[in-house]
């Protein structure tokens, strides 16, 4: 297409370059999602890699399962810290009788969380 005004031609060329960059970024996103899916399949599909001596290069991509397990692990540690601090408070002030409901709830939650994480891992 020929433009009489050079400014129109420059604007059209700039639009085409923007669209090419956008499409290129979409291909990058697709490659990222494909790598995430591959890592998920590896994680859940083949657990026989324990005896394998093949070293794999670390990936910059964290699968969704890894993000979820990471959050559970952090939550578990936060709750353990809460129990640790409550235990110290109960030892310091034995005259104050507490119901212990909070501690029981945290322990039950940690137990259930531990079971869920182990269920995903094996």
Residue 31 to residue 102: CA distance in whole angstroms: 46
pLDDT of amino acid 9:
83
Q: What is the CA radius of gyration of the chain?
A: 27
pLDDT for 37: 87
37 and 72: one domain?
no
Q: Among 59, 102, 55, which residue's Cα sits nearest to residue 83?
A: 102
The sign one gets for the Cα dihedral 85, 91, 94, 98 is: positive
Q: Does 75 map to a domain?
A: yes
pTM, full prediction: 0.47
Contact 69, 120 (CB under 8 A): yes
Do 28 and 4 touch, CB atoms closer than 8 A? no
Residues 26 and 71 in one domain: no
User: Residue 27 is part of which domain span?
Assistant: 1-50
Which stretches in the chain have pLDDT values below 50?
A: 122
Asked if residue 56 is part of any domain, the answer here is no
pLDDT of residue 122: 46
What is the C-alpha to C-alpha distance for residues 50 and 67, in angstroms, rounded to an integer?
22
- Say if residue 89 is in the same domain as residue 116: yes
User: Is residue 13 located within the same domain as residue 41?
Assistant: yes
Instruction: Give residue 88's Cα distance to chain centre.
Output: 33
Q: So what's the pLDDT on residue 93?
A: 55
Q: Are residues 109 and 70 in the same domain?
A: yes
The pLDDT value given to residue 95: 55
Based on the structure, what is the number of domains in the chain?
2
For the chain, the residue count is 122
Are 44 and 67 in the same domain? no
Q: Are residues 90 and 34 in the same domain?
A: no
DSSP state for residue 58 in the 8-state scheme = -
The answer to whether residues 40 and 85 belong to one domain is: no
């Amino acid at each position: 297409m020929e433009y009489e005004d050079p400014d129109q031609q420059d604007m059209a060329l700039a639009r085409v370059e923007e669209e090419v960059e956008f499409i290129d970024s979409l291909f990058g996103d697709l490659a990222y999602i494909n790598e995430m899916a591959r890592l998920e399949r590896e994680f859940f599909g083949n657990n026989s890699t324990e005896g394998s001596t093949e070293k794999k290069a670390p990936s910059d991509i964290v699968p969704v399962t890894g993000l979820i397990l990471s959050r559970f692990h952090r939550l578990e540690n936060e709750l353990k810290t809460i129990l640790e601090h409550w235990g110290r408070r109960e030892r310091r002030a034995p005259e104050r009788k507490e119901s212990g409901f909070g501690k029981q709830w945290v322990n039950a939650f940690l137990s259930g969380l531990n079971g869920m994480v182990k269920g995903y891992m094996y």
